[in-house]
A and B are shown apart, each in its own frame.
Chain A
Amino acid sequence: MTTVTISGLTKRYGGAAAAVDDLSIEIGEGELVSLLGPSGCGKTTTLRSIAGFVEPDAGQILFDGVDITALPPERRNIGMVFQNYALFPHMTVRENLRFGLEMRRVPRNEMTDRIDQVLDTVQLAGLEGRYPRELSGGQQQRVALARGLVIEPAVLLLDEPLANLDAKLREEMRFFIRSLQKRVGITTVYVTHDQAEAMVISDRIVVMFDGRIRQIGDATEIYAHPVSREVADFIGLSNFIDGRVTSRTDADYYLVNTPLGEVRCRSALALAAGDAAMVMVRPESIRLSREPPDDAGSNRIAGRVQDRFYLGNIAGYRVACGDGSVLQVQEEPWHAGAVGDAVWCVFPSDLAWIIRR
């Protein structure tokens, strides 16, 4: 098992802004880390730097403490899965899998054993004589995984491996890849722009914008406690309410004065009274109620239902509040509100999160 250390990685294309800008991260043994961000955020450049296809302008990449920055891809001992799978069309499944082993001069009988074993692992036994074009998208995907794994690489790199699959299969493959990765115990870097995919699959998620890391954390941290509006906006829906800190109530709790009233919020930041603050509340954290809540610990904002829509798994509301701003609310699907109802938007202070403005 291998640790991957990236320090100060920087890559510029031409004279433009850096595609990757001073990126540093430590990836532990057997850990699966996702690089998540919009297209052009530098996640693929980072992955291709780890693979050796991109020569960084600055910074180092270390596998188990050994600097491999100067090595060509073929000497890095990586397994890579490409978005379009990149299976060799002129080779059968078995020949595709054998290619990496041949390059490593693995003895012939060991080759056969390893190929059979990995085909079994990815549930493709029986298809080894087929050519890639004779396989479905999902099967090709698994061949690509098998080809990357059969060489028993130090690090597995996946570049949007599920992007070309249809939605249903994509969700299944998330779990498949995750359980496979856990079983094999291989250190993995996974590039995706799909937040749900990153959340299902990763030990840690690295959120990237403009070539920089904006936040590193597990799914809960990234979703519930984003460090910036950018991160919160990229992952899921959010309501943002501008305000100023009035006082600190508990260790991590503050009162924030907003145009919609005073809100009690949580924060990891050290804030003082008078600091500008932005309160983030996820739509599903808000309950709608006709009566003001009894519980004094909850925040409440009065409003009037402007829109209601039904999505099957949720009922969505847009609630117009006092100052004209609109709160998005996701309620249980059977919640029976109607347009025009006067309602209270109720949310616990735990789920109101302060982002520095």
Chain B
Amino acid sequence: MDHPPLTLAPEPLAAAGTSAAGRGGRRLAAWRRPSRGLLLVLPTLLFLGCFLVAPYVNMLVMSFRNPSTTAVFAPGFTVGNYTKALADPYYLGVLAQTIALGALTTAICAIVGYPVAYHLARTRSRLRGLLYVGVLSPLLVGVVIRCYGWIILLANNGLINNAVKKFGGASHGLPLMYNSFGVGVGLVHVFLPFMILPILSAVQSVDLALEDAARSLGASRARTMLRIVIPLSLPGIQAGAILVFVLSISAYVIPILLGALKVKLMPTLVIQLLIDAFLWPFGAALAFILAATGGLIVYLFIHATGRLMRGLG
């Protein structure tokens, strides 16, 4: 599973969005003014066009095709796939569960990751390099292998449950896997670095003297965190939250391995529909519903958090 490119910039993503638009604008300008620059971007454009834009367009078109039982799709176009999905409480429920699990994963990553990021940003320990490796360690091993690691721990006859059965008295063990708990554990573990790294760089940009200033003005450590450090590192929290959220709601391998198919999430459902049921138009529509919902939530999140960051230039 490939992760999307990781941005560590502590700037608000809203700003990153506009600068991406700015790059697009420059690319257009290059079109208008033929030059050698065009030749330089041509390979990239071709690559992106073939392997990113074309498949997306294909999927988008597919989602408006008529379903067929004998072929991939039947002739003609329809919005029926979308209306069917949006009218069915089952699919809406799966969507809601996907979003809820993504939001919960994001929140837990933020709560768990912030203290780590803060410590890492402020420590002068010689073990700092080692701490970095520790933070990045979930990314050093492939996602499948990491999941099997969790299976060893969480399975019904896994390490924890065997210990619990032996010493804890719960004869059936605890439901640690094949439910949203297990999937949540896997998601938090794997995506935590994507929360920590942006916060880390945001905290590093908060001048230590600001903390001293707050203390000198009568603020306790806790109040200094709440009023000064956390508000000033919001851009990092925002960036990390968006990364973790987007990665969580589109995660496939972790839900499959740790949730089997007992935890119904959009990515697993979409793959099921495409590969097992061979319902390409409907699966494509579901995929776009997930993408659109995720995009909308991210947009609203940027809007809401942007208001909190008004003073940050």
A53–B208 Cα distance when bound, in Å, is 12
Chain A residue nearest to B223 in the complex (CB)? A103
Chain B residue nearest to A52 in the complex (CB)? B215
Asked if A80 lies at the interface with its beta carbon under 8 angstroms from chain B, I say yes
Chain B residue nearest to A91 in the complex (CB)? B311
Chain B residue nearest to A144 in the complex (CB)? B213
In chain B, positions 59-102 with a C-beta closer than 8 Å to chain A are none
A73–B223 Cα distance when bound, in Å, is 13
Asked if A84 lies at the interface with its beta carbon under 8 angstroms from chain B, I say yes
Q: What 1/0 mask marks residues of chain B from 207 to 248 whose CB sits below 8 Å from any chain A CB?
A: 101101111111110010001100110000000000000000
Asked if B4 lies at the interface with its beta carbon under 8 angstroms from chain A, I say no
Q: List the A side residues contacting B209 at CB < 8 Å.
A: 82-84, 86
Q: List the B side residues contacting A357 at CB < 8 Å.
A: none
CB distance from B146 to the nearest CB of A (A): 38
Q: List the A side residues contacting B142 at CB < 8 Å.
A: none
Asked if A51 lies at the interface with its beta carbon under 8 angstroms from chain B, I say yes
Chain A residue nearest to B231 in the complex (CB)? A90
Chain A residue nearest to B213 in the complex (CB)? A86
Whether A82 and B218, one on each chain, are in contact in the complex, defined by CB atoms closer than 8 angstroms, is no
Asked if A230 lies at the interface with its beta carbon under 8 angstroms from chain B, I say no
Whether B313 and A133, one on each chain, are in contact in the complex, defined by CB atoms closer than 8 angstroms, is yes
Asked if B312 lies at the interface with its beta carbon under 8 angstroms from chain A, I say yes
Whether A82 and B311, one on each chain, are in contact in the complex, defined by CB atoms closer than 8 angstroms, is no
Whether B213 and A82, one on each chain, are in contact in the complex, defined by CB atoms closer than 8 angstroms, is yes
Interface centre among A84, A89, A131, A133 (most CB of B within 10 A): A89
Whether A151 and B309, one on each chain, are in contact in the complex, defined by CB atoms closer than 8 angstroms, is no
Asked if A147 lies at the interface with its beta carbon under 8 angstroms from chain B, I say yes
Chain B residue nearest to A151 in the complex (CB)? B217
Q: List the B side residues contacting A75 at CB < 8 Å.
A: 218
Asked if A234 lies at the interface with its beta carbon under 8 angstroms from chain B, I say no
Q: Known: A99-B227, A131-B311. Contact between A74 and B207, CB under 8 A?
A: no
Q: List the B side residues contacting A147 at CB < 8 Å.
A: 213, 217
CB distance from B236 to the nearest CB of A (A): 14
Q: List the B side residues contacting A104 at CB < 8 Å.
A: 218
Q: Known: A73-B215, A133-B313, A151-B217. Contact between A90 and B207, CB under 8 A?
A: no
Q: List the B side residues contacting A99 at CB < 8 Å.
A: 214, 217, 219, 227
Interface of B is mostly: helix
A53–B214 Cα distance when bound, in Å, is 12
In chain A, positions 81-100 with a C-beta closer than 8 Å to chain B are 82-84, 86-92, 99-100
Q: List the B side residues contacting A148 at CB < 8 Å.
A: 216
CB distance from A166 to the nearest CB of B (A): 21
Whether B313 and A131, one on each chain, are in contact in the complex, defined by CB atoms closer than 8 angstroms, is yes
CB distance from A85 to the nearest CB of B (A): 8
Whether B232 and A73, one on each chain, are in contact in the complex, defined by CB atoms closer than 8 angstroms, is no
Q: Known: A88-B228, A90-B311, A133-B313. Contact between A74 and B219, CB under 8 A?
A: yes
CB distance from B34 to the nearest CB of A (A): 41
A88–B211 Cα distance when bound, in Å, is 9
CB distance from A187 to the nearest CB of B (A): 15
Contact of A100 among B207, B217, B231 (CB under 8 A): B217
Asked if A30 lies at the interface with its beta carbon under 8 angstroms from chain B, I say no
Q: List the A side residues contacting B214 at CB < 8 Å.
A: 88, 99
CB distance from B207 to the nearest CB of A (A): 6
A82–B210 Cα distance when bound, in Å, is 9
Whether B232 and A90, one on each chain, are in contact in the complex, defined by CB atoms closer than 8 angstroms, is yes
Chain A residue nearest to B228 in the complex (CB)? A88
Q: List the B side residues contacting A74 at CB < 8 Å.
A: 215-220
CB distance from B21 to the nearest CB of A (A): 25
A100–B212 Cα distance when bound, in Å, is 13
Contact of A88 among B210, B223, B309 (CB under 8 A): B210
Whether A89 and B312, one on each chain, are in contact in the complex, defined by CB atoms closer than 8 angstroms, is yes
Whether A84 and B207, one on each chain, are in contact in the complex, defined by CB atoms closer than 8 angstroms, is yes
A88–B311 Cα distance when bound, in Å, is 10
A195–B221 Cα distance when bound, in Å, is 36
Whether B210 and A86, one on each chain, are in contact in the complex, defined by CB atoms closer than 8 angstroms, is yes
Chain A residue nearest to B209 in the complex (CB)? A86
A175–B256 Cα distance when bound, in Å, is 72
A131–B313 Cα distance when bound, in Å, is 9
Whether A73 and B231, one on each chain, are in contact in the complex, defined by CB atoms closer than 8 angstroms, is no
Q: List the A side residues contacting B219 at CB < 8 Å.
A: 74, 99, 103
Q: List the B side residues contacting A79 at CB < 8 Å.
A: 216-217
Whether A89 and B227, one on each chain, are in contact in the complex, defined by CB atoms closer than 8 angstroms, is no
Interface centre among A74, A84, A87, A133 (most CB of B within 10 A): A74
A88–B216 Cα distance when bound, in Å, is 13
Whether B210 and A103, one on each chain, are in contact in the complex, defined by CB atoms closer than 8 angstroms, is no
Whether B311 and A100, one on each chain, are in contact in the complex, defined by CB atoms closer than 8 angstroms, is no
Chain B residue nearest to A105 in the complex (CB)? B218
A79–B227 Cα distance when bound, in Å, is 18
Whether B311 and A78, one on each chain, are in contact in the complex, defined by CB atoms closer than 8 angstroms, is no
Q: List the B side residues contacting A84 at CB < 8 Å.
A: 207, 209
Whether B311 and A72, one on each chain, are in contact in the complex, defined by CB atoms closer than 8 angstroms, is no
Whether A151 and B232, one on each chain, are in contact in the complex, defined by CB atoms closer than 8 angstroms, is no
Whether A103 and B218, one on each chain, are in contact in the complex, defined by CB atoms closer than 8 angstroms, is yes
In chain A, positions 146-160 with a C-beta closer than 8 Å to chain B are 147-148, 151, 157
Q: List the B side residues contacting A73 at CB < 8 Å.
A: 212, 215-216
Instruction: List chain A positions with a Cβ less than 8 A from chain B.
Output: 51-53, 72-75, 77-80, 82-84, 86-92, 99-100, 103-104, 131, 133, 147-148, 151, 157
Starting from the known contacts A89-B210, A147-B217, 14 additional A-B residue pairs (CB-CB under 8 Å) come to: A51-B216, A52-B215, A73-B212, A75-B218, A80-B213, A86-B209, A86-B210, A86-B212, A87-B213, A89-B232, A90-B232, A90-B310, A103-B218, A148-B216
| 16 A-B pairs whose Cβ atoms sit less than 8 Å apart in the complex | A72-B220, A74-B220, A75-B218, A80-B213, A86-B210, A88-B213, A88-B232, A89-B311, A89-B313, A90-B311, A103-B218, A131-B311, A131-B313, A133-B313, A147-B213, A151-B217
Instruction: List chain B positions with a Cβ less than 8 A from chain A.
Output: 207, 209-210, 212-220, 223, 227-228, 231-232, 309-313
